[in-house]
Chain A
Amino acid sequence: MAMPVDMEEQYDRIYRYCYFRLHSRQTAEDITQETFLRYLENYACATAEQALKCLYTIARNLCVDAYRKKAAGEKCVQSGAEDTAREGEFAQTDRMEEQLVTGMAVRAAVAALAQDEQEILLLRFVNEVPAGTLAQLYGISRFAVYRRLAAVTKKFREALSREGLE
């Protein structure tokens, strides 16, 4: 069965999610590809919602595995070199973004959030994952997702107003 979602679009989103979790371009891309391969081998979802849930679940588990391996002492020199390279690649983009006051304020406001709060913000507002899929992904009710989103949004807005934006 073909995938009920646009693979090209979802590749970017899953990759962005993995990169957010791991901060490594190489590992994020490896995990993104592994996610799609595992999905195609083991799942045949009929709806886009089910497919998204499967993709994010696989990606999250693979990210956790990669993180554990890294934490267990397998962090090698390559990782450090990779991060340096990444910083170099982003330097130009960062310089451009930092010229914009809004961009700086948003960045600071995001940084003020906890990791799990940043994750839900990324999934809902950047990757545009539906609330129903988030509920399945986190194993909570849809109302709980809305409550968590409202709390995170409130905290984010407060941080923005501290930066003088809202």
Chain B
Amino acid sequence: MRRARRRERQKRLQQELKHVFEAPEPLRKRAFLRALEQPAMSTPAFVAAQLGYIRRWVWAVSTLIFAVCATAALWLPAQMLWVVSAFVPLLSLTAVTESGRSVQYEMAELEMATRFSLRSVILARMGILGLENLALLAGLLPAGVCRMGFGVAQAGVYLLLPYLLTAFAGLWAVRRLRGRESVYCCAGIAACVSVLSAALQGSAPQLFERSALVWWAAGVLVLGAGTAGQCVRLVRESAAA
């Protein structure tokens, strides 16, 4: 009881002290705070900041996939296409799930209220992951050319088609589903594309002949356009959520 009274007296004293030290209302506070711009951040600094928000497991999985594919190129050249086709969809999976993280965790609304627009954040992360995946695929291209005797274009479409198919279907799923469901769906799509690619190597070798190359190229073009379209829609829908 005495302690409570003492605490109350302390509080009252502190209030009185605030009155004693009170200064007249500042006149230009609103105008100053409104006029004070946040210090500008350059694009490279912004992209570098976003780099830190990409989870470590994404980098770890990408490195692992590259290591597995590179090992296959060195030690099992005959199996390389099979291995790459099976693993590249997983690479795409990491990029898709990371790009749709705001939507998956239903944080899009909160992120839109932050300093940078959600649109620029998603675009920056997609750009970083896309470039990283492209660099990995480009790194695997010489192995495909040298070890399996493919032309550059041939090796390129064999690498890109399963990647783009997974990216297209994964982004479609991320746009349609919410929360954990979208992650499971993306994982399922990646697994299906992975198994399908590996199975086609053995069951339909005619698909990998030079004569079928035009169909592969058409597939890459169609899926590339479709993936780009899905990316644009994802960014637009996230920003308008």
Residues of A within 8 A of B (CB): 1-2, 7-8, 11-12, 15-16, 19-20, 25, 28-29, 32-33, 36-37, 40, 86, 89-90, 93, 97, 102-103, 106-107, 110, 121-122, 125-126, 160
Contacts and interface: CB of A to CB of B under 8 A. Distances in A.
B36 interface: yes
A107 B16 CA distance: 8
Interface of B: 12-14, 16-24, 26-29, 32-33, 36, 38-39, 115
B39 A89 contact: no
A106 B14 CA distance: 10
Contacts of B16: 102-103, 106
Given A106-B13, A106-B16, A125-B17, A25 B29 contact: no
Contacts of B21: 16, 20, 110, 122, 126
A29 B27 contact: yes
15 contacts: A8-B33, A11-B29, A11-B32, A25-B24, A28-B23, A29-B26, A29-B27, A29-B28, A32-B26, A90-B24, A102-B12, A103-B16, A103-B19, A106-B20, A160-B13
A16 to B, nearest CB: 5
B51 to A, nearest CB: 16
B186 to A, nearest CB: 33
B102 to A, nearest CB: 20
Which 7 A-B pairs give the minimum distances between C-beta atoms? Answer: A19-B23, A106-B16, A16-B23, A126-B21, A122-B21, A110-B20, A15-B26
A39 to B, nearest CB: 10
Nearest to A105: B16
Nearest to A93: B22
A86 B24 CA distance: 8
A126 to B, nearest CB: 5
Nearest to A16: B23
B26 to A, nearest CB: 5
A120 B177 CA distance: 57
Contacts of B32: 11, 33, 36
Contacts of B22: 16, 93
Given A1-B39, A8-B33, A25 B17 contact: no
Given A11-B29, A97-B19, A106-B16, A2 B24 contact: no
Nearest to A123: B21
A19 B38 contact: no
Given A2-B38, A8-B33, A11-B29, A106 B24 contact: no
A12 to B, nearest CB: 7
A107 B28 contact: no
A20 B26 contact: no
A106 to B, nearest CB: 4
A49 B125 CA distance: 32
